[in-house]
A and B are shown apart, each in its own frame.
Chain A
């Protein structure tokens, strides 16, 4: 039943990716941007896994997370390189090195939930990449097809070891399924918050515009009280 449920999840991911691929990769420029977005996701995954490796009390799990982190780093580099190539061919500058923050999810969630979260991510990612392999095959883009095909191998491995570790850590299949279901809810909540924060950002931007106008009298006051010549350079005191 668990297999069916997660296959369902993967099924949805595959379908959504197939539907959105023509939009996501509509133009060369969009493709480059999308690939760099993947590079950022891989980079942040790498940081999360490195943090997990550093904190995990067991050398065996530490080794697994570390190898996983190195894979993610390789993926990030590959995505960034492909993105840069496309940008260069378009005469545009590359996006630069992937650089992200890290939420320290291993610390925040604990090992069990972290494993479930990573497993769900890898499972979904693999399904998404399957869709992209088919998509780029249809479009005749051999390079990008090869990129995703190679990555899927790693994702499969990540998907399977995280599930095995989760079952072991949770103490059984049933408990593992429960944790996976909990993380599904947690992720749904995050997605909702992300949409909300996107909207809030718009509200913030609009409100700040109004507030900025309110600065006008202060700007005038400043020009009177602290004239320009005080930023002429040279020694003060």
Chain B
């Protein structure tokens, strides 16, 4: 839970950073990024190489 709140704080700071004047036009891009983040949540996985496992091919 703490982790989630902490990350919300970061998201808040991110929004503040991107809504400053010269970066305004990037702000809607945050929506695109948000979608990408959701996708990333699904792919958080293991590397292709594992210790003590010799891949068959």
Contacts and interface: CB of A to CB of B under 8 A. Distances in A.
In the complex, A touching B (Cβ < 8 A): yes
B5 interface: no
B49 A204 contact: no
Interface in A193-212: 193-194, 196-197, 200-201, 203-204, 207-208, 211
A71 to B, nearest CB: 13
Given A20-B57, A193-B46, A225-B25, A208 B51 contact: no
B36 A211 contact: yes
Contact of B52 (A100, A117, A222): A117
A107 interface: no
B54 A41 contact: yes
A125 B54 contact: yes
B50 A44 contact: yes
Contacts of B51: 41, 44-45, 47-48, 102-103, 105, 121
A125 B56 CA distance: 10
Contacts of B42: 200, 203-204
Interface residues of B, number: 25
Contact of B25 (A124, A129, A201, A221): A221
B46 A204 contact: no
A203 B39 contact: yes
A101 B50 contact: no
Given A117-B52, A121-B52, A218-B29, 11 more contacts: A37-B54, A37-B55, A44-B50, A45-B52, A100-B49, A103-B51, A201-B43, A204-B40, A207-B39, A215-B32, A222-B25
5 contacts: A20-B57, A34-B55, A118-B52, A194-B45, A207-B39
Interface of A: 16-17, 20, 23-24, 34, 37-38, 40-41, 44-45, 47-48, 100-103, 105, 117-118, 120-122, 124-125, 128-129, 190, 193-194, 196-197, 200-201, 203-204, 207-208, 211, 214-215, 218, 221-222, 225
